[in-house]
Structure 1
Amino acid sequence: MLPDFETCFRAMQSKDPRFDGWFFIAVRTTGIYCRPSCPATPRQRNVEFHPSAAAAQRAGFRACKRCRPDASPGSPEWNLRGDLAGRALRLIADGVIDREGVPGLASRLGYSERQLNRTLIAEVGAGPLALARSQRAQTARVLLETTSVPITDVAFAAGFASVRQFNDTVRDVFATTPTGLRARRRPGEAGEPGWITLRLPYREPMQLPGLLDFLGAHAVAGVETYADGVLTRALRAPSGPALVRLSAGDGAVRCSVRLTDNRDLAAVVARVRRLLDLDADPVAADDVLARDPRLAPLVRKRPGLRSPGTVDGFETAVATVVGQQVSLAGARTVLGRIVAAHGDVAFPDEPWRLFPTPATLAEVDPAVLPVPRSRGRCLQALAASVAAGELDLDAGADRDDIRARLLALPGVGPWTADYLRMRTVADPDVLLATDLVVRRAADELDIDLTDGLPSWAPWRSYATHHLWAHLYGDLWSVTP
């Protein structure tokens, strides 16, 4: 929800970038909207505030060319909220409207189109179509300013139905033409042929090298590699295989993307942002957790520690089941063998493979999987449930429902269900109190876990990671 006017105005005066993405400033005298950290200083009587870029655009304002508000980190509120609006916004970011339309989005969420539209307008000031339009505009700007993709191809790659719609939107949102945006591209900015290189913003502080180390420690052969601080991995995008390279940049994540179809750019970027937890509000989490004197030294040591998500919920679920009661190295070996036997080739004549689909693993005889027979049956039941649409492990899943459905599968206990709730649907408030490493860390710190530590809410997932890090350093979890 949008904070009150005075709170927003004070945040605007502070120029604190931590508020970027929380709300947007619209200046009635200029007709532009900005992020809170924009250097511009409009008078109080001339401003109004909007909860989303789409809402500001819907009200007739265009994006500031100086601060580029459309490129700010997403609102951390939607990481916290598991309600209809939060689930809808995560699916819109994943490109569901472009692929399935508003009816498909409503069906995925289990609500009527009318109720979905009413809820989004009430919560973020814009309906699903306006939100999708805003996202298309941002994707178009990125492609125009960072690649040499022909302008006509950019229109369709960004998700527009026609070149005319594309031209009109760019003029409305950016007060220029697509040719004008392309002119901003500096010589050589397009980078490697076939790759799109982006800067993914986040709120400071952030332990990015440690986060990449964590993900690299869990890299599965064939799907991922990690070397010299660069994580590279293949993934299934909606229209075909994609390859992403992630590394630390200057105050942002450097993300290079190679796509089968440029229309997948927005979806791939949204998944990378969830994987790295880039839309989190680390100051808010650290403030709550540091109030506990037993956690305060851990927070001071690793300010801005993130709770990593996933680019593929099913892949993470399989890795978690495989990793039960085995070492991290052993789990990676098993997962590499599963990928080699059942994964698809991502690109011809290249070593990259895609993690097996749920439909593929559902048809595999559990006896041939390189895991104990009971775990093989669990993997098959998991795959069959996801393949049949009975279990959603994506950004739009209901957090309570996903836990109940996981617990109904053979071989899935509370720890596994809670860990997957934390990773696959990015629930920020999961305390893995039964985890052996968490318990060992808690014992060392004289923390009693029996009451669930309600004072740590709604950031108990981050507390879990701090407790893991207390014993394991930057490779802070031994769980796949």
Structure 2
Amino acid sequence: MPGGPLDLGLVLGPLRRGPGDPTFRATRDGSVWRAVRTPAGPGTLRVYGHGGEVCAQAWGPGADWLLEQLPELLGAADDPEAFVPRHRLVALARHRRPGLRLTRTGLVLESLIPSVLEQKVTTDEAYRAWRLLVRRFGEPAPGPAGAFERPMWVMPAPRTWALIPSWEWHRAGVDDKRASTILRAVRVAARLEQAVAMPAAEARARLEVVPGIGPWTSAEVVQRSHGAADAVTVGDLHLPGIVGWALAGNRHADDSVMLELLEPYAGQRHRAARLILLSGQAPARRAPKMPRVDIGLL
């Protein structure tokens, strides 16, 4: 397990796709639950603190794989000491969040599919689509998580994704472009999962061979699958303005300005951006939120 402070919510929080994510649950006792499709099959993982230690339980065919992967999931492969703050705001954020580590799931598809769903739509729309599709086509999580008041679900297998009819994508609010990208990805799922053994840059290049997967999506994936400390997200609607405001008082910063501001953190730009987001320093919203589009009306 990683040494030093460990905040389960901060470490595993990026794996949660909205408050109703059927594959992720944080309970009042401080436990974090994950329902996962592992290379060995479906599994459920519970991680919790007890007496100053981190404990875990797992169920299902994927239980052993989940427990073997647990140290990296909790950031054992991460090196937060390699990060040197260059701005007071970033230094303060790091001081206030000593338990932040970058998770490494060792899985590609579980981050890729929800990331594709988040392309060019509001987060609420993407979270709804993920929630509906997983509950309709996934399978109940093994172990006690399947008996929760709101049962947890394991996401569908690649072949199941490939067989989802067009009207079900439509019902979930997913347009043809995003659905087609997911269908192309699941057809080469094995090749994409092999990318976990590659350096993050090579993994991103392999992902981006699939039409519809660009730099925004590949960065969002390797941040989770690889714990990639330098995979800063470009092409995001809000991140450049947040970074620009926090580091230079520039709410109108674009990707090029953001990357210039983050250049002192080369090798650790994703971690720097994460700390900036955790600082809470964001410009007041002036423009209306991205409008929701009901594809059923198109």
- Using structure 1 for the length normalisation, give the TM-score: 0.49
* Stretches of structure 1 lacking an aligned partner (at least 5 in a row): 1-200, 474-480
Deviation at 1:335, TM superposition (A): 1.1
Cα distance between partner residues in 2 of 1:291 and 1:260: 46
Matches within 5 A, 1:438-453: 438-447=239-248, 448-451=257-260, 453=262
Change (3 A) 1:426 1:394: farther
Bigger CA radius of gyration: 1
Of the candidates 87, 90, 93, which is equivalent to residue 298 of structure 1? 93
1:353 matched residue in structure 2: 153
RMSD: 3.0
Of the candidates 187, 192, 195, which is equivalent to residue 391 of structure 1? 192
Residue 374 (structure 1) aligned with residue 177 (structure 2): yes
1:458 matched residue in structure 2: 267
Q: Larger relative CO (CA 8 A, sep 6+): 1 or 2?
A: 2
1:318 matched residue in structure 2: 113
Residue 273 (structure 1) aligned with residue 71 (structure 2): yes
- Using structure 2 for the length normalisation, give the TM-score: 0.75
Q: 2:247–2:261: 8 Å Cα contact kept in structure 1? A: no
Deviation at 1:330, TM superposition (A): 3.0
Of the candidates 242, 252, 263, which is equivalent to residue 43 of structure 2? 242
Cα distance between partner residues in 2 of 1:453 and 1:432: 12
Residue 252 (structure 1) aligned with residue 45 (structure 2): no
Write out per-residue CA displacement over residues 308-340 of structure 1, whole angstroms, 9 at most, x where no aligned residue. 333632011101111223343432221121112
Deviation at 1:466, TM superposition (A): 1.0
Q: Residue 314 of structure 1 aligns to which amino acid in structure 2?
A: L
Cα distance between partner residues in 2 of 1:260 and 1:383: 21
Deviation at 1:365, TM superposition (A): 3.5
Q: Residue 31 of structure 2 aligns to which amino acid in structure 1?
A: V
**Equivalent position SS for 1:242:** strand
Q: 1:393–1:425: 8 Å Cα contact kept in structure 2? A: no
Write out per-residue CA displacement over residues 6-36 of structure 1, whole angstroms, 9 at most, x where no aligned residue. xxxxxxxxxxxxxxxxxxxxxxxxxxxxxxx
Matches within 5 A, 1:127-142: none
Deviation at 1:404, TM superposition (A): 2.0
Deviation at 1:355, TM superposition (A): 0.8
Q: 2:243–2:273: 8 Å Cα contact kept in structure 1? A: no
Deviation at 1:408, TM superposition (A): 2.6
**Equivalent position SS for 2:247:** coil
Deviation at 1:372, TM superposition (A): 1.1
Deviation at 1:435, TM superposition (A): 2.8
Write out per-residue CA displacement over residues 15-71 of structure 1, whole angstroms, 9 at most, x where no aligned residue. xxxxxxxxxxxxxxxxxxxxxxxxxxxxxxxxxxxxxxxxxxxxxxxxxxxxxxxxx
Of the candidates 304, 308, 318, which is equivalent to residue 103 of structure 2? 308
1:337 matched residue in structure 2: 132
Q: 2:37–2:157: 8 Å Cα contact kept in structure 1? A: no
2:251 matched residue in structure 1: none
2:81 matched residue in structure 1: 283
Q: 2:216–2:236: 8 Å Cα contact kept in structure 1? A: yes
Cα distance between partner residues in 1 of 2:20 and 2:188: 23
**Equivalent position SS for 1:427:** coil
Identity value in percent: 23
Cα distance between partner residues in 2 of 1:222 and 1:467: 28
Change (3 A) 1:366 1:470: farther
Q: Residue 131 of structure 2 aligns to which amino acid in structure 1?
A: G
Change (3 A) 1:421 1:378: same
Of the candidates 188, 205, 218, which is equivalent to residue 404 of structure 1? 205
Cα distance between partner residues in 2 of 1:252 and 1:279: 18
Matches within 5 A, 1:464-479: 464-471=273-280
1:362 matched residue in structure 2: 162
1:60 matched residue in structure 2: none
Matches within 5 A, 1:103-142: none
Q: Residue 414 of structure 1 aligns to which amino acid in structure 2?
A: P
Change (3 A) 1:414 1:238: closer
Cα distance between partner residues in 2 of 1:452 and 1:311: 30
**Equivalent position SS for 1:412:** coil
Change (3 A) 1:305 1:257: same
Cα distance between partner residues in 2 of 1:279 and 1:242: 22
Q: Aligned pairs, how many? A: 265
Change (3 A) 1:309 1:251: same
Residue 435 (structure 1) aligned with residue 248 (structure 2): no
Change (3 A) 1:316 1:210: same
**Equivalent position SS for 1:449:** helix
